[in-house]
Amino acid sequence: MSMSDETRGRAQQMRDKAQQLQEAAERASDPQERQRLQEKARKLREQSEQQSGMAGGGMYPPE
């Protein structure tokens, strides 16, 4: 497996986990817990986008 395949795989895992966290946030009855889960999901999505950008080998970093 090449380095970019591994990076893509990690990015996909992060997106999957972010989706799970988002779904958990939607089910959470406590507003603070919901906000915490949503924030965690958002951070994971951002990290996965950065990973995907690196795997793509683009010249410019994502904004």
User: pLDDT tens track of the chain, all 63 residues?
Assistant: 566 778 788 888 999 999 999 999 999 999 999 999 999 999 999 998 888 776 555 545 555
pLDDT value of residue 30: 97
pLDDT value of residue 55: 59
Longest Cα pair distance anywhere in the chain, in angstroms? 44
Considering the entire predicted model, what is its pTM? 0.73
Torsion 29-34-36-40 (CA) sign: positive
Tokens of 16: 């999957």
pLDDT value of residue 56: 57
